[in-house]
Each structure stands twice: as structure tokens, then as C-alpha cells.
């Protein structure tokens, strides 16, 4: 029997990329899926793809920076399925640019979604997860371990998500809620096609070469294994594990590589 059979999974940032693929694979494992994101057209399309009759699928247009919208979504999800067993806080984007090129408003915008949006999700779902003795999953990044040039805003936000996950693992243990932090490396998604305002530029080429990007279904399959095992933390993708390992055990190596290859900020999608 599937670990997820008859469980209700709420996913933020579910309209594309990792969030949408999580919905597909978890639905295939007989979970009830409740989809949240800003792009309602994509949510509707995904819901119809999963089940044209709407069975075991619900969705709502939500901006995670708006706590009242998340609270309404939680009420709707519980009204539809009766409970929430797993919450996956996946919504996020990346601000690109060197520190001297960015303004404090860029950092605030990055944190509003990637950090405060996660906190809003935590607060909105805490009671439901305590009641179900469920699981909170926070989507971080290998960037939460390894800072690189031109990536300070995104890296700072993912360091924060990782710290939040660690704190919640202590604090929510007595509530019976398990917390899993997932840290993927380079996965096929829209994040590198999104500008510093959070707007998708679909025609923008992905600056990460194909040979290092991991197909989304492959990465998500590994994520689901970690969720099933209630792992406290899992670095996703082989190259992600290598980068994190080098950073932990050979701390001088990555700075040497960065200096040797002259790594620069990825361009903001236009």
C-alpha cells in the first residue's frame, strides 16, 4: 500500500516545475492533492490533467505572501478532504545579481516569498498538521549550504529556510509533526526563467547546461522517497550531494574553483 494512499497533500508553488511534478507523482500514489499557486490557469490545467472529473484534486489561486489567502486555502482543503497530512512549501523564485547591483528592495522581495511566504505557510497549516500528526516539507536548495557569486539574495533566503527547518524539527517534535528539509541542486524548472520581480519569461534560455540539469521527474522521485522516510534533511541530485560534500569536507576547494573559473552572476531573465 502506498504511504500516501488517502492522505491529503497541500502543495504551494504547484503550477509548474517541481511543484507540479510532485502533484503528479503523489496523485499516482493515491494521495488527495490540493494545489496552490498564483497562476490559476496552470493550476486548472494541472487539476484537469490529474483527473478531469476533479476526484482527489482541489486547487486555489494563492499568493503565499498573503497570510489570509493561505488561511482560506487551508479551510477549503479541510472542507474538501477533511484533513491535511502533508504540507509541501515549494513556492519560491530567485533574484539574480551581485550585491552592488541590487537594492534592499530586491532582498525584501526575495525574502517576502522565499522566507516569509514559507513562514505564512507554516502558521496557516500548523493546527491542521498537529491534528493529523502530519509532515511539513520545506523546499530549500543546495544554495542553502554553498553561497556563490551573484546569488546572495537567493542564497540568503535558502540559508534561512534551512535554519527554519532545523528549528521546527526541535520545536514541533512534541506536537507529533515531522519536518523534512529538501535541498535540490540544478533541476529543470522555471526558476532560472523568472526575473527579479518574480515574472516568468518563458522564452528565456536556461543558463545551466543540459548535462548538469536533472530531469524534474527524477529529482521528484528522490524527494518523495525522503518524504516517505520522514527524513530530517536530504540533498537531492548527485551533483548537489557532491557540491555539499566538498563544501563540508573540503571547505577551501569551492572558493578555489570559483576563483579559477571566474564564476559570475547569471543574467536576470528579460
Which residues are catalytic, by number?
A: 154
Q: Which among 141, 123, 15 has a CA at the least distance from the CA of 68?
A: 123
Residue appearing with cell numbers 537567493: 154
Give 118's contacts (C-beta < 8 A, 6+ positions apart).
64, 89, 91, 92, 138, 161, 164
In degrees, to the nearest 5, what angle opens at C-alpha 245 toward C-alphas 241 and 249?
A: 175
Residue appearing with cell numbers 477549503: 76
Could you give the strand order of the β-sheet that contains 178-184, starting from the edge strand earlier in sequence?
57-61, 32-37, 8-11, 86-89, 135-139, 178-184, 233-236
Give 202's contacts (C-beta < 8 A, 6+ positions apart).
190, 193
- First-residue to last-residue Cα distance in the chain: 47
Strands (E), 91-189: 135-139, 178-184
Amino acid at each position: 500500500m502506498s504511504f500516501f494512499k488517502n492522505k491529503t497533500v497541500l502543495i504551494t508553488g504547484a503550477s509548474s516545475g517541481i511543484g507540479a511534478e510532485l502533484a503528479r507523482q503523489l496523485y499516482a500514489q493515491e494521495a488527495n492533492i490540493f494545489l496552490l499557486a498564483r497562476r490559476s490557469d496552470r493550476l486548472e490545467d494541472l487539476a484537469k490533467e490529474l483527473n478531469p472529473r476533479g476526484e482527489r484534486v482541489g486547487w486555489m489561486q494563492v499568493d503565499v505572501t498573503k497570510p489570509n489567502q493561505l488561511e482560506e486555502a487551508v479551510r477549503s482543503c479541510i472542507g474538501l478532504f477533511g484533513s491535511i497530512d502533508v504540507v509541501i512549501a515549494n513556492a519560491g523564485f530567485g533574484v539574480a545579481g551581485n550585491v552592488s547591483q541590487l537594492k534592499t528592495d530586491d532582498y525584501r522581495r526575495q525574502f517576502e516569498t522565499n522566507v516569509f511566504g514559507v513562514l505564512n505557510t507554516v502558521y496557516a497549516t500548523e493546527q491542521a498538521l498537529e491534528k493529523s500528526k502530519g509532515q511539513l516539507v520545506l523546499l530549500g536548495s543546495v544554495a542553502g549550504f554553498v553561497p556563490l557569486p551573484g546569488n546572495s539574495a537567493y542564497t540568503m533566503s535558502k540559508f534561512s529556510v534551512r535554519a527554519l527547518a532545523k528549528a521546527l524539527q526541535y520545536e514541533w517534535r512534541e506536537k507529533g509533526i515531522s519536518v523534512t528539509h529538501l535541498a535540490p541542486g540544478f533541476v529543470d524548472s522555471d526558476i532560472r526563467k523568472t526575473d527579479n520581480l518574480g515574472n516568468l519569461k518563458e522564452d528565456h534560455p536556461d543558463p545551466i547546461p543540459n548535462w548538469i540539469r536533472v530531469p524534474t521527474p527524477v529529482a521528484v522521485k528522490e524527494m518523495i522517497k525522503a518524504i516517505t522516510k520522514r527524513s530530517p534533511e536530504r540533498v537531492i541530485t548527485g551533483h548537489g550531494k557532491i557540491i555539499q560534500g566538498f563544501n563540508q569536507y573540503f571547505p577551501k576547494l569551492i572558493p578555489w574553483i570559483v576563483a579559477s573559473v571566474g564564476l559570475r552572476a547569471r543574467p536576470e531573465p528579460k
